[in-house]
Chains A and B, each alone.
Chain A
């Protein structure tokens, strides 16, 4: 809010072209308000409670609990345990499992818990990821667990189709795959599910679902759903969405157009309408993904099949493994399986591929079908371009490569420094030439002015004379605005990479504990966190502007203002970004000083203006 106001307000100020007492007071007020906002946030870390039980959550946010357009039923919550077919309530949680879970393990990567009686995957523990990282090494919150039994992952939800499945008894094979056969309460439908880890993969599962008609007549089944899991926007309470940042979402690929769409929390909760739900329920989808800032559940229907629609819900929030109604809602999705007609004793099998793990862009890219789009690495202003995603991946690979040359305590920080350096070097010739030619050009300005005065009435001659002047002074026009425009995508890609890369999650660097979070020091000033990298960034920016000769003193003042505004803008951002900005700024200063040196050395005597 404050951030929005600052540029506008300063724009107005620029018209006055002066720093009168009022504007200074304004700046002070702005800074004070900003600090107050941070202090307030720190004091009130958990947001004001807005307790709401699951069933109320739906109606509170304008979602009719019964949303399936084919089943316009009153919003009553049917207890799960009765086993009676009741109205379908998408927000109704699954009850806790009664037996000890079966465990599917992928060595050193994950351990998935499966409800043996038919609750699907109730949790995936990632062995290599911890909830948070503080200065105290012991305080890591334990390993990351994705999902919870209330909204499980990878199981059939037959409630909307009007079937109730009786609990079954799963058996586990030697290769740790799990088989489960369940019958419907009337015995007409037999459902067989097989979960198995994909050999050689790190986070992937295969899931097979077979339905068999035992009714003695032909059956027509629709509205069967596949649970795609639920995730909070952020798993750790220490990571609150920063300024302008929204974590995670529900993404799906339209199987007709191949386009990937991501719905953010707001779109799923506050902005969701019955019409939108109905539209989603008939959108053909080849895969869907439920993701938090750094982790995801993904399920894809294989063999050319696609879901006939999807269901996106906001269910009660969860933080650090505990359902917590004070928290932001979790994102929860289900895929709607295409309607089928089963003849007598006919069987039908669907094959699914699933992924539950970190949002590692290389792994998502390997899975293909544009799954890596969910990371928004291809973001360019308001648009997405696949070449931007490519660029981000190249930069990320560079960063990872460089980081491996250093000890782990410095690794990714040095990776950021290294990538920034490489990008700067790549653009060096471009910037060097244009800077040199601009410097010479500005030296010629008085001469140009004279020429224009002299040949006021003969523009043709004036151009000729000007060209001669440029030639004589070796002003070659090697620069240009167009090459400069080419640099913008690269900086965007860097920005995207440093903002989203899971590699930076909990990667320490110097005093920064976690490069994906602001680099708070261990002490704070009156509740205001001290973030040296953000302050350093502002400092280097200020320095750079001081060193750049500006023809207009007001312009120079505005530039100094800009460094203040940048501190505000980046104070809540990941320290990876502020580190990048600082290094980039320092390198710019270095380049400018070098050019100045070179030109001065070359130019002793011969830099004088030659008049043809």
Chain B
């Protein structure tokens, strides 16, 4: 894991720890957007990870008609473990 990945991950961690509690749970997907972003960053690196996360955020609204279960590409099978491991 490189430095930029670590910085972004710590930002996500900060959000999940401190900011997410200021709003109600709202995500329409599973795993949630922040968890998705975390996994995407780890799995696909900075560039693709950020892109995937933004794309996911863009889809996270009532007019999108996809499935609720929306894992990071490539993480379909083993995200069970990743989801349960808390930061």
Contacts and interface: CB of A to CB of B under 8 A. Distances in A.
Interface of A: 7, 11, 14, 431, 433-435, 437-438, 441, 448, 452, 456, 459, 462-463, 466-467, 470, 475, 477-485, 487, 545, 552, 555, 558-559, 562, 588, 592
A466 B29 CA distance: 12
Contacts of A14: 17
A11 B64 CA distance: 35
A463 B62 contact: no
Contacts of B80: 452
A487 B23 contact: yes
B9 interface: no
A545 B21 contact: yes
Contacts of A483: 26, 61-62
A580 to B, nearest CB: 14
Contacts of A485: 57
A16 to B, nearest CB: 13
A480 B62 contact: yes
Nearest to A595: B24
Nearest to A482: B61
Contact of B28 (A7, A479, A559): A479
Nearest to A467: B67
Given A481-B60, A482-B58, A438 B25 contact: yes
Nearest to B76: A459
A434 B67 contact: no
Interface in B2-57: 14, 17-18, 21, 23-30, 32-33, 57
A602 B70 CA distance: 29
A558 B76 CA distance: 31
28 contacts: A7-B18, A14-B17, A434-B25, A434-B28, A437-B28, A438-B24, A438-B26, A438-B27, A456-B77, A462-B69, A467-B67, A477-B29, A477-B68, A478-B28, A479-B28, A479-B62, A480-B26, A481-B26, A481-B28, A481-B32, A481-B60, A482-B57, A482-B61, A483-B62, A485-B57, A552-B86, A588-B24, A592-B24
A510 B17 CA distance: 35
Nearest to A437: B28
B34 to A, nearest CB: 9
A484 B14 CA distance: 18
Contacts, number: 84
B68 A475 contact: yes
A487 B58 CA distance: 15
The number of chain B residues touching the other chain, given as a range, is 20 to 34
A438 B58 CA distance: 19
Chain A binding site: helix, strand, loop or mixed by DSSP? Answer: helix
Contacts of A588: 24
A485 B23 CA distance: 10
Contacts of A463: 67, 69
A466 B67 contact: yes
Contacts of A470: 68
4 interchain residue pairs of minimum CB distance:
A477-B28, A480-B61, A482-B61, A481-B60
Given A466-B67, A481-B27, A562-B21, 13 more contacts: A7-B18, A14-B17, A431-B26, A433-B62, A435-B24, A456-B77, A477-B68, A479-B26, A481-B60, A482-B58, A483-B61, A483-B62, A558-B21
B28 A484 contact: no
Given A14-B17, A475-B68, A562-B18, A482 B60 contact: yes
A462 B14 CA distance: 33
- Identify the interface centre among A11, A456, A462, A479: most chain B CB within 10 Å of its CB: A479
Contacts of A562: 18, 21
B60 to A, nearest CB: 4
Nearest to B21: A559
Most buried by A among B23, B24, B64, B67: B24
B55 to A, nearest CB: 12
Contact of A481 (B18, B21, B33, B76): B33
Contacts of B62: 433, 477-480, 483
Contact of A466 (B14, B27, B57, B68): B68
B59 to A, nearest CB: 8
Nearest to A558: B17
Nearest to A463: B67
A448 B83 CA distance: 13
A7, A431, A441 pick with most chain B CB within 10 angstroms: A441
Contacts of B28: 434, 437, 477-481
B25 A11 contact: no
A479 B59 CA distance: 11
Q: Which residue of A452, A466, A480, A562 has the most chain B CB atoms within 10 A of its CB atom?
A: A480
B17 A11 contact: yes
A459 B25 CA distance: 26
A277 B12 CA distance: 41
Contacts of A478: 28, 62
Contacts of A435: 24-25
A378 B17 CA distance: 28
B33 A459 contact: no
Interface string B59-87: 01110100111000000110010000010
Contacts of B26: 431, 434, 438, 479-481, 483-484
Given A466-B68, A467-B67, A562-B18, A479 B27 contact: yes
Contacts of B68: 441, 466-467, 470, 475, 477
A552 B30 CA distance: 17
A588 B80 CA distance: 32
A434 B29 CA distance: 11
